[in-house]
Structure 1
Amino acid sequence: MDFDPNCVFCQKQPKDYVMANNLCVAFWDSHPVSKGHLLIVPRRHVAQIWDVTEAERQALVQLVADAKKHLDKQFKPDGYNVAINSGAAAGQSVFHCHIHLIPRYWNQTTKRLGAIPGQFLVPKARPEFKQSKQS
């Protein structure tokens, strides 16, 4: 099925897109963990990352890279989380394959604390790393 009328991601329109390529789109997460939190999804309705075609996989990776450049310019984050939740047991709540691109900022209080895994928590102080901002 290329489109699921019950899927919130399938209902997104071009006006909602931050960017897109021929097989994938990116839009703002409606419940962001941080400022600039994007979702990158295949245009085709597919439930899991394991079910995307090779062409879709390449397009997803390319759009993640393009989105990172966009977020670097717009928000200048200190780092990123890139996450894919695959299956309900892994925390997937919308069953349309999607990649979270989450900008991270030093000492910013994370939104949705109860809903996110520990790796998404930003340490309050890591001075040894603050000097070596990597892009």
Structure 2
Amino acid sequence: MDFDPNCVFCQKQSSDFVIEGDLCVAFWDIHPVSKGHLLIVPKRHVAQIWDATASEKKELGQMAEDAKKLLDKQFKPDGYNVSINSGAAAGQSVFHCHIHLIPRYWNKVTKGVGAVPGQFLVPKQRPEFK
């Protein structure tokens, strides 16, 4: 498998993994936007989602679903942001393809300004549904 010795995601060890598949892994973001913020990445070093194989993309999607179930059980969030930044102009800062799975909670303060569009458009309180 491709490996980049200068890539922080390629340096991750199995002890860091929350979920591990044949082609992809999930681990906690070291600068989480909220409690439970996970990154889902191919094991093989690929810079952007467009460089991933069809099999890697399939497993990334399945792992996102599996990770959501884990986060639902462990943290019980009220919603999620799912984001892939592809290229520097789109906010990608680590050039190893990754999906951000960010749990969202009503009435919780978000940490810092992240690279997820619209993250601060979440209403302060739960809206009333009729």
* Structure-1 residue corresponding to 2:36: 36
1:36-75 equivalences in 2 (<5 Å) = 36-75=36-75
**In percent, how many aligned pairs have the same letter?**
74
* Structure-2 residue corresponding to 1:104: 104
Runs of 5+ consecutive residues of structure 2 not aligned to the other structure = none
Per the alignment, do residues 89 and 78 of structure 1 end up closer, same or farther by CA in structure 2, a change over 3 Å counting?
Answer: same
Render the CA deviation track for 1:48-80: whole Å, top value 9, x for unaligned. 001100000000000000000000000000000
Runs of 5+ consecutive residues of structure 1 not aligned to the other structure = none
Q: Report the alpha carbon displacement of residue 127 of structure 1 after superposing the two structures with TM.
A: 2.1
1:4-19 equivalences in 2 (<5 Å) = 4-19=4-19
Alignment length (residue pairs): 129
- CA-based RMSD of the aligned residues comes to 1.5
Per the alignment, do residues 60 and 44 of structure 1 end up closer, same or farther by CA in structure 2, a change over 3 Å counting?
Answer: same
Q: Once superposed, which parts of structure 1, at least 4 consecutive aligned residues long, lie more than 6 Å away?
A: none
TM-score (norm 2): 0.94
1:82 maps onto 2:89 in alignment: no
Name whichever structure is richer in helix by fraction. Answer: 1
In the alignment, the residues of structure 1 paired with residue 115 and residue 86 of structure 2 have an alpha-carbon distance, to the nearest angstrom, of 14
